[in-house]
């Protein structure tokens, strides 16, 4: 099945657009810058087929679905029609045209519900005929359950196994194989059997009535609980989706977030450097203030020191022994060392001479003696200060250098971050945190309800066994018990079939997954197996038997997700076109070329590439010359989305495979 | 001849009280004594001495002068007179100190009014003086 033509009128960026793929359409590349409308081409397609419009649903009042330029040009109260039409060609030669349209009144929002019609061309001679039940026809030929695996956002791929985990893999497999219908049958049989047991107990009367009431009460609670479980599961899914989207957004701006964090760190660092520089200068000023008097008067201090030294040389200053002490020693005729100081002894004579010198010590000598300690302090301070000032200057230089470097880096970072609002990042982060919290709460609630449902089921099974044990008196009661037992038996059979089928499908998906994956990756000899266990955990084992799924590189992970999509498509038996928005958005440029090659080769390998179609919506960065060269081997048709600012609308221009990349 | 009355404080020049306050603030709220000693040494270093000026009642109290301050004052006194016996009169030394301080604060006042960071200029001057001594 292939898309042959897409026509869009007044849908978001598109006033009027036609994508004609009748000539050649195996590989189609649509290149556009961010914001020109790549994703909206995918959205238009999904809206046309399934009527789903996430963004529209949130902003009904502002009708963002309608091209804003068309709204501006329309008169108040005028009707505007938004329409998307897709033409598809089936492998048997039949063609179908699916059209969805909706009218909007300027200033009044939607003028009515969307309308969908399907025109089918099975015989060229008979022409198109309208299909009576469009929804049903689409569900039959292009089932909505396949949409997530053929029309998807490539940025989601990288996160596929991370977010989807086992539950998503299980849902995907069961939906694709339509085994979920069996699940509903199981639930129905369970209800029927329970009903029959309850009715048989009621017919018996006596004690059995109590059991019947208990069974009914438990079942009523279980039914209520199942409804709540379904609601809660939807909430969990919604929150998971929100977390995934926000996570993706955070991923896109993770570099900006990191830069903002770095900027904050640098600002703190710069502040610290400034403070350190200021403190170092303060210390230097303190040093200068205390050193200045001695340093600036140092020559004078040297002069004073020289004068005192000369005075000492000329014995104008006596040694430092108090004269009163000398007098006391002479009077007591005893030295301080207790030796006698006899008259005429050399010791006594020496002391007498010393004392006489003291008598000669004049006022000036005393002044010198008084000044000497202060002089020593002042000169010592100047001598020591050379080292101190050097150390302080070194400190200042170091901090100023650090400050300069931080300042330079900060300036560069600020210009890099220009235009990115911190508040936007914070809001996204905060929204992500809230969504995660909500997801956690909803998951907890869901787990609790599931636990309670299990408890109720067990209680009901016990009650049913008790009813079985009681002798049913009335024939009707006996008959009802017999029917209930039969119901239970049917349930057991259904469960067994369900288990067998799910195992078979799971194993087939796993085999196909392994096959596709091993063909895609370059290190295929290092992969021993890819499997999906009973709990639907996808596992990739190395040839040494180690689990390596968490260690796969981004490119390998994307290949695994693509292989999973292909495997699901194969098991479903449908050959739907694959439309991928930004297939390599999350990959490093060095891996983009490789994945491009994988995509090109995959479509070629599948059925010889004749019945498969791959449409990729790529940014200019993704469709770089390297990727273009690799894809050129598949002779793709390449279109470029051109945004006309005057018209506020986007259009498509077809160009050569390599021309756009250049 | 009557003995000179011993002073209890070294006087800031009446006209320059504000400049002393600015000097103190610029160097991180230093004491009166430190302000006076910086002005004194600055005046001595640049050979600026003002003999006649009106003394204020404000200035560092002599009892708070540390031995090293007294040594600096005496050293300047000696350098100025060239006579060691002049040191016998501390009061004369204080006179000279006040006069150099007055000259110093005058120069510092001009420096403080000039553009640029005065404190850093002073620190740089002291540092180069110290480096020169080494």
Q: Which residues of B touch A368 (CB under 8 A)?
A: 84, 87
A497 contact B CB<8A: no
Q: How confident is the model at residue A61 (pLDDT cuts 50, 70, 90)?
A: very low
pLDDT in tens, A575-610: 888 888 888 876 777 777 878 888 777 767 655 545
Task: Say if A624 falls within a structural domain.
Answer: yes
Q: A164: pLDDT confidence band, cut at 50, 70 and 90? A: very low
Chain B hits for A371, Cβ within 8 Å: 67, 70-71, 74, 87
Q: Which two tokens stand for residue A193?
A: 């059997």
Question: Chain B closest CA to A324's CA: distance in Å?
Answer: 22
Both ends of chain B: CA-CA distance in Å? Answer: 47
Could you tell me if residue A14 is inside a domain?
yes
Which pLDDT belongs to residue A421? 64
> DSSP states of A281-315 as a string?
HHHHHHHHHHHHHHHHTHHHHHHHHHHHHHHHHTT
> Is B4 an 8 Å CB contact of chain A?
no
Average pLDDT in chain A: 81
Interface check A327 vs B, CB under 8 A? no
pLDDT of residue A319: 59
At residue A62, does pLDDT exceed 70?
Answer: no
Distance CA A63, CA A55 (A): 10
CB contact under 8 A, B71 and A287: no
Tally of domains in chain A: 1
Phi, psi of A29 (to 5 degrees): -120, 130
A386: nearest CB among B28, B34, B130: B130
Does some domain include residue A193?
A: no
More confident residue, A62 or A632: A632
Q: Is any Cβ of chain B less than 8 angstroms from the Cβ of A389?
A: yes
A373 touching chain B per CB within 8 A: yes
What is the C-alpha separation between A117 and A96, in angstroms, rounded? 10
CA A583 to CA A636: how far, in whole Å? 15
Domain assignment of residue A644, yes or no? yes
Measured in degrees and rounded to the nearest 5, phi and psi for residue A355 equal: -65, -35
| Contact check, Cβ <8 Å, B131/A295 | no
Roughly what angle, to the nearest 10 degrees, separates helices A422-469 and A180-204?
40
Beta strands in A582-636 (DSSP E): 614-618
For residue A103, the enclosing domain spans: 1-142+578-662
pLDDT score recorded for residue A360: 61
pLDDT tens digits along A189-216: 888 888 888 888 777 766 667 888 888 8
Instruction: Please tell me if residue A385 touches chain B, with a CB cutoff of 8 Å.
Output: yes
The answer, yes or no, to whether residue A301 has pLDDT greater than 90, is yes
Q: Give the distance between the most distant pair of CA atoms in chain B.
A: 52
* pLDDT given at position A362: 64
Torsion sign across C-alpha atoms A308, A311, A312, A318: negative
**Cβ distance A198 to A219 under 8 Å?**
yes
Residue B58 in tokens:
């404000």
Give the separation between CA A579 and CA A2, rounded to whole angstroms: 11
| pLDDT, tens only, A395-434 | 888 888 888 888 888 888 877 676 666 676 777 778 888 9
What burial letters (b/e) apply to A367-406, b meaning 16+ CB within 10 Å? bbbbbbebbeebbebbeebbebbeebeebbeebbebbeeb
Q: What residues 74-113 of chain B have any CB closer than 8 A to a CB of chain A?
A: 74-76, 78-79, 84-85, 87-88
Contact list in B for residue A289 (CB cut-off 8 A) is: 27-28, 30, 34, 38
Q: Do A294 and B123 touch (CB under 8 A)?
A: no
Question: Does some domain include residue A75?
Answer: yes
Interface test with A, best of B41, B66, B67, B130 (most A CBs within 10 A): B130
| Residues A295, B79: C-beta atoms closer than 8 Å | no
Inspect the interface and report whether the beta carbons of B72 and A371 lie closer than 8 Å.
no
pLDDT for position B39: 96
Contact call for residues A569 and A512 (beta carbons, < 8 A): no
Cα dihedral angle (A41, A42, A48, A53), rounded to 10 degrees?
A: -110
Question: Binning pLDDT at 50, 70 and 90, where does residue A128 land?
Answer: confident
Partner-chain contact A374 B70, CB within 8 Å: yes
**Overall average pLDDT of the A34-63 stretch:** 72
- Determine which of A232-241, A253-262, A527-536 has the lowest per-residue pLDDT on average: A253-262
pLDDT tens, A453-492? 999 989 988 888 887 777 656 677 778 888 888 888 888 8
Say if B37 is an interface residue toward chain A (CB within 8 Å): yes
Name residue, tokens 């040009």: A73
Lowest mean pLDDT among A44-48, A175-179, A404-408: A175-179
Are A297 and B45 in contact (CB < 8 Å)? yes
Q: Residue range A533-553: average pLDDT?
A: 82
What's the complex ipTM? 0.94
Contacting residues of A for B100, CB less than 8 Å apart: none
Whether A145 shows a pLDDT value over 80: the answer reads: no
Spell out which residues of chain B touch residue A312, defining contact as CB-CB under 8 Å. none
According to the model, what pLDDT value does residue A606 have? 59
Q: Do A297 and B120 touch (CB under 8 A)?
A: no
Q: A619 pLDDT exceeds 60? A: yes
Q: What is the mean pLDDT of each run of 10 residues along chain B (134 residues)?
A: 74 93 88 94 95 93 93 95 87 95 95 88 89 79
Q: Using CB atoms, pick whichever of A286, A290, A301 lies closest to residue B71.
A: A301
The first and second tokens of residue A230, run together, are 């379904």
Instruction: Please check whether residue B70 touches A, CB under 8 A.
Output: yes
pLDDT per residue over A211-257, tens digit each? 888 888 888 888 888 889 888 888 887 888 788 777 766 665 666 77
| Contact of B16 with B106, CB cutoff 8 Å | yes
Choose among B76, B78, B88: nearest Cβ to A363: B88
Is residue A297 included in any domain, yes or no?
no
Cβ distance B84 to A382 less than 8 Å, yes or no, reads no
Number of residues in chain B: 134
Whether residue A273 contacts residue A403, with contact meaning beta carbons closer than 8 Å, is answered with yes
What's residue A58's pLDDT? 38
- The yes-or-no verdict on residue A523 having pLDDT over 60 is yes
Highest average pLDDT, of A69-83, A139-153, A413-427, comes from A69-83
B3, B69, B74, best to mutate vs chain A, most A CBs in 10 Å: B74
The nearest alpha carbon in chain A to B29 belongs to: A286
Q: B-chain residues within 8 Å CB-CB of A386?
A: 130-131, 133-134
Is B69 in Cβ contact with A281 (below 8 Å)?
Answer: no
What is the 3-class SS of A369-387, one letter each residue? HHHHHHHHHHHHHHHHHHH
Q: How far apart are CA A404 and CA A416, in angstroms?
A: 18
Alpha-carbon distance of A232 to A121, in angstroms, equals: 43
Chain A partners within 8 Å of B37 (Cβ)? 292-293
Contact A373 B127 (CB under 8 A): no
Of residues B28, B71, B123, nearest to A375 (C-beta): B71
Contact pairs from chain A to chain B, CB under 8 Å: 136
B27 contact A CB<8A: yes
Residue A546, Cα to own-chain centre: how many angstroms? 27
Q: What is the pLDDT of residues A267-290, one digit of tens each?
A: 998 999 899 988 888 888 888 998
Q: Which residue of A has its CA nearest to B127?
A: A389
Contact B133 A367 (CB under 8 A): no
Q: What is the 3-state secondary structure (H, E, C) of A133-169?
A: CHHHHHHHHCCHHHHHHHEEEHHHHCCHHHHHHHHHH
Can you give the pLDDT at residue A420? Answer: 62
The pLDDT of residue B50: 94
Would A20 be classed as within a structural domain? yes
Of A296, A307, A364, nearest to B41 by CB-CB distance is A296
Residue A103 burial class via C-beta count within 10 angstroms: exposed 0-12, middle 13-18, buried 19 and up? middle
With 60 as the cut, is the pLDDT of residue A163 above it? no
Minimum distance, in Å, between the CA of residue B125 and any CA atom of chain A: 9
Min Cα separation A412/chain B (Å): 29
Q: How many CB atoms lie within 10 A of CB A310?
A: 12
CATH of the domain at A59: 3.40.50.300
């Amino acid at each position: 099945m292939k898309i042959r033509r897409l026509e869009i009128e007044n849908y978001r960026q598109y006033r009027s657009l036609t994508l004609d793929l009748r000539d050649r359409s195996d590989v189609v590349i649509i290149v556009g810058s961010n914001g020109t409308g790549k994703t909206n081409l995918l959205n238009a397609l999904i809206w046309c087929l399934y009527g789903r419009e996430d963004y529209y649903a949130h902003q009904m009042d502002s009708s963002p679905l309608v091209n804003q330029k068309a709204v501006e040009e329309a008169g108040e109260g005028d009707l505007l029609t938004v329409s998307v039409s897709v033409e598809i060609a089936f492998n048997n030669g039949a063609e179908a045209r699916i059209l969805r349209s909706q009218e909007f009144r300027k200033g009044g929002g939607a003028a009515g519900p969307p309308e969908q019609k399907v025109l089918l061309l099975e015989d060229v001679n008979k022409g198109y005929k309208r299909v009576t039940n469009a929804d049903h026809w689409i569900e039959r030929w292009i089932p909505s359950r396949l949409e997530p695996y053929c029309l998807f956002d490539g940025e989601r791929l990288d996160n596929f196994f991370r977010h989807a985990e086992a539950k998503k893999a299980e849902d995907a497999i069961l939906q694709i194989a339509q085994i979920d219908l069996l699940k509903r049958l199981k639930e129905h049989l369970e209800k029927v059997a329970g009903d029959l047991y309850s009715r048989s107990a009621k017919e018996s009367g006596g004690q059995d009535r109590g059991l019947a009431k208990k069974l009914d009460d438990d079942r009523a609670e279980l039914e209520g609980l199942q409804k709540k479980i379904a609601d809660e599961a939807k909430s969990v899914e919604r929150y998971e989706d929100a977390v995934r989207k926000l996570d993706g957004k955070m991923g896109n701006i993770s570099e900006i977030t990191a830069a903002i964090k770095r900027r904050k760190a640098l600002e703190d660092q710069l502040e610290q450097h400034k403070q350190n520089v200021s403190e170092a200068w303060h210390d230097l000023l303190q040093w200068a203030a205390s050193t200045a008097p001695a340093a600036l008067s140092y020559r004078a201090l040297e002069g004073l020191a020289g004068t005192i030294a000369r005075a000492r040389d000329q014995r104008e200053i006596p040694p430092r022994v108090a004269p009163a002490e000398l007098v006391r020693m002479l009077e007591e005729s005893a030295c301080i060392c207790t030796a006698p100081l006899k008259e005429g002894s050399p010791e006594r004579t020496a002391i007498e001479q010393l004392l006489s010198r003291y008598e000669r010590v004049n006022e000036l000598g005393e002044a010198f003696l008084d000044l000497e300690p202060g002089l020593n302090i002042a000169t010592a301070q100047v001598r020591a200060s050379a080292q101190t000032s050097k150390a302080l200057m070194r400190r200042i230089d170091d901090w100023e250098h650090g400050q300069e470097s931080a300042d330079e880096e900060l300036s560069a970072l600020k210009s890099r971050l220009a235009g990115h609002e911190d508040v936007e990042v914070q809001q996204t982060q905060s929204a992500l945190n809230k969504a995660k919290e909500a997801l956690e709460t909803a998951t907890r609630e869901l787990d609790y309800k599931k636990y309670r449902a299990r408890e109720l089921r067990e209680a009901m099974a016990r009650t049913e066994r008790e009813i079985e044990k009681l002798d049913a008196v009335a024939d009707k009661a006996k008959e009802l018990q017999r029917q209930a037992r039969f119901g239970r038996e049917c349930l057991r059979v259904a469960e067994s079939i369900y288990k067998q089928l799910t195992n078979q499908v799971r194993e087939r998906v796993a085999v196909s997954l392994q096959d596709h994956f091993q063909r895609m990756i370059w290190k295929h000899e290092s992969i021993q197996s890819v499997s999906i266990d009973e709990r639907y955990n996808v596992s990739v084992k190395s040839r040494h038997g180690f689990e390596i799924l968490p260690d796969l590189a981004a490119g390998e992970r994307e290949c695994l997700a693509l292989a999973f999509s292909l495997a699901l498509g194969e098991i479903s038996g449908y050959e739907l076109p694959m439309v991928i928005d930004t297939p390599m958005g999350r990959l490093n440029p060095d891996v983009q070329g490789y994945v491009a090659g994988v995509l090109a080769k995959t479509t070629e390998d599948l059925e010889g590439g004749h019945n498969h179609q791959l449409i990729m919506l790529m940014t200019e960065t993704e469709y770089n010359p390297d990727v273009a060269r690799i894809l050129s081997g598949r002779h793709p048709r390449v279109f470029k989305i051109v945004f006309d600012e005057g018209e506020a609308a986007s259009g498509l221009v077809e160009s050569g495979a390599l021309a756009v990349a250049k | 001849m009557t003995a000179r009355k011993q002073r209890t404080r070294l006087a800031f020049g009446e006209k320059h009280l504000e400049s002393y306050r600015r000097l103190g603030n610029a160097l991180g709220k230093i004491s009166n004594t430190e302000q006076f000693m910086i002005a004194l040494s600055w005046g001595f270093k640049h050979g600026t001495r003002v003999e006649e000026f009106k003394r204020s009642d404000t200035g560092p109290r002599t009892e708070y002068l540390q031995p090293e301050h007294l040594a600096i004052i005496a050293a300047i006194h000696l350098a100025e007179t060239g006579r060691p016996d002049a040191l016998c009169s501390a009061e004369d030394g204080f006179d000279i100190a006040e006069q150099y301080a007055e000259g110093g604060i005058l120069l510092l006042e001009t420096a403080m009014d000039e553009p640029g960071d005065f404190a850093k200029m002073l620190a740089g001057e002291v540092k180069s003086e110290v480096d020169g001594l080494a």
